[in-house]
Structure 1
Amino acid sequence: MRFKDRVVIVTGGASGIGRATALAFAGEGARVVVADLNESGGQETVRLIGEAGGEAVFAPVDVSREDDCELMVRTAVSRFGGLDILFNNAGIPMGPTPADAITTELFDRIFAVNVRGVFLGCKYAIPVMRTRGGGVIINTASTAGIRPRPGMLAYAASKGAVITLTKALALELAPHGIRVNAVAPVATDTPMLPVFFGTGNPEEARRRFLESIPLGRLNTPEDIARAVLFLASDEAAMITGVCLEVDGGRCI
Structure 2
Amino acid sequence: MDPLLDFTGKVAVITGAAQGFGQLLAQELAKRGAKLVISDINKTGVLKVADDIAATGASVIAMACDVSKNDDCKAMVATAIENFGRVDIGVNNAGVAHEFMPLHEIDESIMDSQFAINVKGVQFGMRHQIQQMLQQGEGAILNVSSMAGISGAARGSAYAMAKHAVIGLTKTGAVEYGRNNIRINAICPFFTLTPMVTNFADQEQQKRMSKGAPMNRLGEPKEIVAMMLMMLSPANTYMTGQCIAIDGGVSAQ
Aligned to 2:44: 40
Inter-partner Cα distance in structure 1 for 2:215 and 2:57: 35
Q: Secondary structure at the match of 1:64?
A: coil
Q: Secondary structure at the match of 1:175?
A: helix
1:177-202 Cα deviation digits (max 9, x unpaired): 000000001111111113443xxxx3
Asked if 1:221 corresponds to 2:221, the answer is yes
Inter-partner Cα distance in structure 2 for 1:140 and 1:206: 21
2:96 paired residue among 92, 95, 98: 92
Inter-partner Cα distance in structure 2 for 1:178 and 1:106: 33
Q: Secondary structure at the match of 2:250?
A: coil
Could you tell me how far 1:118 is from its partner in structure 2? 0.4
1:85-111 Cα deviation digits (max 9, x unpaired): 000000001111122221211111111
Identical pairs, percent: 38
Aligned to 2:170: 166
Aligned to 1:8: 12
Q: CA RMSD, aligned part only?
A: 1.2
Aligned to 1:152: 156
Contact between 1:94 and 1:195, CA under 8 Å: does it hold in 2? Answer: no
Could you tell me how far 1:204 is from its partner in structure 2? 3.1
1:131-161 Cα deviation digits (max 9, x unpaired): 1111000000000112223110000111111
| Equivalence map 1:1-252=2 (5 Å) | 1=1, 2-197=6-201, 202-252=202-252
Inter-partner Cα distance in structure 2 for 1:219 and 1:233: 22
Inter-partner Cα distance in structure 1 for 2:63 and 2:241: 28
Inter-partner Cα distance in structure 2 for 1:182 and 1:9: 16
Inter-partner Cα distance in structure 1 for 2:115 and 2:221: 23
1:170-229 Cα deviation digits (max 9, x unpaired): 0001010000000001111111113443xxxx3332222111111222222211211111
Contact between 2:93 and 2:144, CA under 8 Å: does it hold in 1? Answer: yes
Q: Secondary structure at the match of 1:234?
A: coil
Superposition TM-score, scaled by structure 2 size: 0.95
- Count of paired positions: 248
Superposition TM-score, scaled by structure 1 size: 0.95
One-letter code aligned to 2:117: V
Contact between 1:95 and 1:195, CA under 8 Å: does it hold in 2? Answer: no
Contact between 1:21 and 1:224, CA under 8 Å: does it hold in 2? Answer: no
Q: Secondary structure at the match of 1:139?
A: strand
Contact between 2:30 and 2:53, CA under 8 Å: does it hold in 1? Answer: yes
Inter-partner Cα distance in structure 2 for 1:250 and 1:27: 31
Q: List runs of 5+ in structure 1 lacking aligned partners.
A: none
Contact between 1:12 and 1:35, CA under 8 Å: does it hold in 2? Answer: yes
Inter-partner Cα distance in structure 2 for 1:174 and 1:190: 32
